[in-house]
Structure 1
Amino acid sequence: MRKILSLVLVLALVLGSFAFTFAATPSDVVGEDSEDAVNVLMELGVINGYPDGSYKPAGIVTRGEMAKIVICALGLEDYAAGSSSFSDMAGHWSDKYVAYAVSLGIINGYPDGTFKADNTVSYDEAAKMLVAALGYTEDSLVGAWPVNYVTKAKVLGILDDIKAGSAGANRGDIAIMTYQTLDLPIGKTNNDGDWIASIPADDMLTRLGAVLAAGGAAFVLTDTHADDAIADVRELVGAFVKAYVNDDGEIIAIKSVESEFLIGEFDLATVAAATTFETDDEEYDIIGFASLVAAGYYTNGESDPLGFGVADVAAATEYKIAVDVSGVKINDIYSVAEWAIDDDFQFEDGYLEDDNIAGNTFKLDDNDDIDMSSFVLLGVDSLEDIEEDDVVYVYLGGTSGDVTKIEVGTETASGEVTRIKGSEYTIGGKVYEFSTAPGVIGTTPGIDDEIEMTLDYAGDIYDYEVISGEADLYGIVLRTGVASEDPGDLGASDAEIELFMADGTKKTFTVDYDKFALNADGTPGDNVIPATVYDQNVAPNLVGGVLVSDDVWLLAAGDVVEYALNKDGEVESLEWVVDASAVGALAEKRADVTWVGAAADLTAKGYYQAFSVASDALIMTYDSGAGFTTDEDDYGIAQRANLL
């Protein structure tokens, strides 16, 4: 798991989610657990890469190299001089570092008087050196070597996500361990065996030349700060932070986050008028928003050029706000950010190119490579980790139009639908909701369906497939037949409907009369097939300007319906999906259906107009010259691959 440098862990969940990335990132650590650590330590001059641009994170670290790393991390490299007394160190390149580290009580040699500088340092030995560099001694620790130092290293967080032991440590893990020591206080062990923190406060980061921005005062981190930063702080845009900067004023580390992010909706359409902000879990009272005037709004991570007071928020719209909050009271609002998905798709081979993903362009660095610090990547460690069929949401900057955030859903799940309550579906004992992304599947499963789901980054359902149960059945109407007797007469026969089906054939189905609004005897029926589809006309009325008293199907040739069959193969439910009767346009008959306008070709990436077409989508075609006829030969079934 990636970690960030934080001297005051104010918001652990927020701080643990972003990473440091530098322009000179060694090619072989990109996407690795050690990437952040290597970037920071190289920027601070603690470690170096190799001339070929690599870091070799899997390579070994010797005891001599570890001695140098610790001395450099303490900011004492210029003071390293002299020779150690170890019998095997004469003329060794690391002797001066070893000698200085020994004088500081950081390292020891072996009982035979040797140091063995070229031996691989173990994780336990490295942990001991780093803990000792902070001023701890055996007198201030409990237990015997190596448990005493290893335990303290775990308590301090030096060994977070690192497995201690006698095995040789690699370069990537040593970078992580050192990185996780930079912000820890340095002190001394007194004569009573108590470790006392230094006054004034001392730590490796300060010794290495980092200074607090704005004289130590907190400030709202803007997208401009993030653009200029050496560290990748993109995910904290809009937050109220304290940060360390280098001599050029560029952010190299976040000291603390003094605000909290909330995601929810304002109760009114302007922040100035709003009195509450409601999240999924809580309703907050807005007491103040003074800081927002200076910070303003952000659209997909970039400053809104209109600013506060003009770009008012919209009601019933989700926003991410940075706030000072006490209990359920918002004392101040530092920023308001809106994130809207610009593109969503399931990843396919060829979507990721040198400067774009599925046609969405990245900001490039000076070497014309993708600037990894210009966007937030969630769900995977690197772009190369995105796999076939992963769900990808792309967000584009409101000003630049470049990618500012990518969310990748990598999980699938399956189970039986046991409960549906509003927008919540209980599947396999867990509650899910459907994604609201534009390209999400428009249909929903039914009770008792066994389904396999593709989930987005948030864990919502992006797509699903019915494994067992009633799958969605669609057909194009060819002909219809009404019941042979009036519904008021006992013994009225069932109606019929002829459909062009998804397998490319036609079939005539019997429609169970009991599923209509009225039974044959005139009593209320199941009403599964409503009067808007099949009008039983108990009382005479006008249909198409003609007085009708007999049953009438309101469907016509070319209409699309969704239907379900009972165990006898009879139609037991039927919904009108598309009305093909209008000249030059199709009419939506259901809320989840959208008429996209004029005909268009399917793009190379599988898009029809602005809609993503799934690889296994049911595509029905018709002969535009013939129109909507009763002849099944004028209709067809196509595969997406054949239309690309």
Structure 2
Amino acid sequence: MKRFAAIVLTVTILMSMLYVPAIANKTGYLSGDFYDMVNDKGEQHWAYDQMTELIAMGILTGYSETKTIYGERVQVQSAKPNQKITRAEFAAILYQALNLNGSNGDKAPFSDKIPSWAAEAVNALYKEGIIRGNPDGTFRPDRYISRAEIAAMLVNALNDRSSQTGKSFPDVSSGHWASGSIGKASAMGIINGFPNGRFYPDRNAQRAEVMVMLYQYLLNDRSQAPADKTLISRAGKVSDAMESFISDDNYDSASVLQYLTGEMEVIMSDSEAGEIIRELKEEGFLGYSVTSPGRVVRKSDRLAEVAYDSTAVLRIDEIELEVEMPIHYFLMKIGDEWYIYKENYETE
């Protein structure tokens, strides 16, 4: 029994390591590469879940740093969750999250200079009507962005153009320039405010606050969500390709990679992906098969989750056993197509 439990644990861990996203949002980092989202006591940052999702999508890449770990200098990534963020930095992140086609040479008419690394993002977002600048004709790229400005940009980016009014905040008057955007963002679950009931619209936002608002935006804009069959069909192609990859001793991942993006592609592009499967088989893993039709757990205009029931087959001391392994695929929309950026074996 102990050996059975060990093999099941090994299969689960290795399969989870194997699956992780590839196209416009290709990233070189996994959430485990970021050292500053868990403290020395092992406690996760309050925005850990949302930030790791954005890392998996390839939207949040963080900062490269060199640290000494166990006496060796190693390259690591930092998310800097408590650091403030500039307007140009947020524009670049939002541009990446929306996967916009670009400005096609159109230039935003701001009178101040936009840094070259953010120029395309600012131009494209202006073209889409997502950013509008300041009354004096400037964009002020190096100024720290406020919570109200984030709410306004995210509401401008919504596909959902309906009029909605959320809860009122005592520190957001009807005369505040962003009161309408803050109200709609609240109604759609993009912003929640603080435990004391206030929103602090003019306070400079920390990176963690920005990432939570951005993730909630991606999750809650649902007016143009696709039909379930579209998502199930796409996830089904990945499931079929993965079954073939695992059963094929050549371990050619090309058939799988065409459906992946972000973090999951990093794993499947790794030359060690095939070696992981070999290790699984040496431990007694014979493969798995999907045992139920796909079901959509949740969906929005840009994100979706599709689940399948599946059964893993293990051989232990010449005895074959079947273990239930529910699979959840997490998809994001890039252009007109959907790609898998993450998967796990957790139940709904």
User: Larger RCO: Structure 1 or Structure 2 (Cα < 8 Å, ≥ 6 residues apart)?
Assistant: 2
User: Quick check: which one's helix share is greater?
Assistant: 2
Larger gyration radius, structure 1 or structure 2: 1
Q: 1 or 2, which has the higher strand percentage?
A: 1
